[in-house]
Copies of this chain bind each other. A is one copy, B any other.
Amino acid sequence: MTKPLIVVNFKAYGEVCGEAGLGLARACEEIGKETGTSIVSCPQMVDLALVAQSIRAPVWSQSSDAVSPGGRTGHTTVKAIKGAGATGTLVNHSESRKLLFDIEDIVKRCREEGIVSCVCTNNIRTSIAAAALGPDFVAVEPPELIGGDVSVTSADPEIVSNAVEGVKAIDRKVNVLCGAGVKNSADVAKAIELGARGVLLASGVVKAKDPRSVLRDLASAL
């Protein structure tokens, strides 16, 4: 069974451009080791190889394109993500919405290259649809709660439990993460109770005054 995960999405926040991004990734690695939990960093796209080659904890890409390697300026292939040393990628997101056909294609490429795919979704129906594409994870995040102060686990617990139920009915091997507004150990504990295998969060860590203490608190629930 998959060990529960805390996935930290650095997004395009100004707070983690340049050296600060590597610093946050090191904090994720350190607290993961200290607490014996799996904390995944998703640094900014341009920092991916640098971060992946500087820490041992898992690093995922924030995005990927549905193309083969070749003459394609500005595109990020799954092969390039793997070559950079990352072990997974987010696929689709309310802030990085992808074509249905491209999500299917990227998930397949991840399977072929042996890297983890985590499709982010916005409601129960899209979570079930995503599960049909066979990713490793589906991360459900109601867009109206993303970046806010109220955790999805309090504001809309049924979206999590129903997404878990719907996803598992399609494919038991797909695990569900939940996100949007996740801030502390109570939110993580509740997510696990609702059937999620972990959480996906961003601002709660990235914009925290002391990310280490937030990460330590989050990890304490696993």
Is residue A104 contacting chain B, with contact meaning CB distance below 8 A?
Answer: yes
Asked if residues B17 and A79 are in contact (CB atoms below 8 Å), the reply is yes
Count of chain A residues with Cβ under 8 Å from any Cβ of B?
74
Of residues A11, A63, A132, which shows the largest number of chain B Cβ atoms within 10 Å of its Cβ? A132
Restricting to A62-92, which residues have a CB under 8 Å from any CB of B?
62-63, 65, 67-77, 79-86, 90, 92
**A185-204 vs B, Cβ < 8 Å mask (1 yes, 0 no):** 00000000000000000110
- Whether A92 contacts B100 by the Cβ 8 Å rule is yes
Q: List 29 A-B contacts (CB under 8 A).
A: A12-B67, A12-B80, A14-B79, A18-B49, A18-B80, A18-B82, A18-B84, A45-B45, A46-B48, A46-B61, A46-B80, A46-B83, A46-B86, A47-B48, A49-B50, A50-B53, A71-B146, A71-B203, A73-B90, A73-B93, A73-B202, A92-B100, A97-B102, A99-B99, A100-B121, A101-B122, A101-B126, A128-B132, A132-B166
- A125 / chain B contacts, CB cutoff of 8 Å: 104, 132-134
- Shortest Cβ gap from A97 to chain B (Å): 5
Give the chain B neighbours of A49 by CB distance below 8 A.
18, 46-47, 49-50
Q: Please list the residues of chain A having a beta carbon within 8 angstroms of any beta carbon in chain B.
A: 9, 11-14, 17-21, 44-50, 53, 61-63, 65, 67-77, 79-86, 90, 92-104, 120-123, 125-126, 128-134, 146-147, 166, 170, 202-203
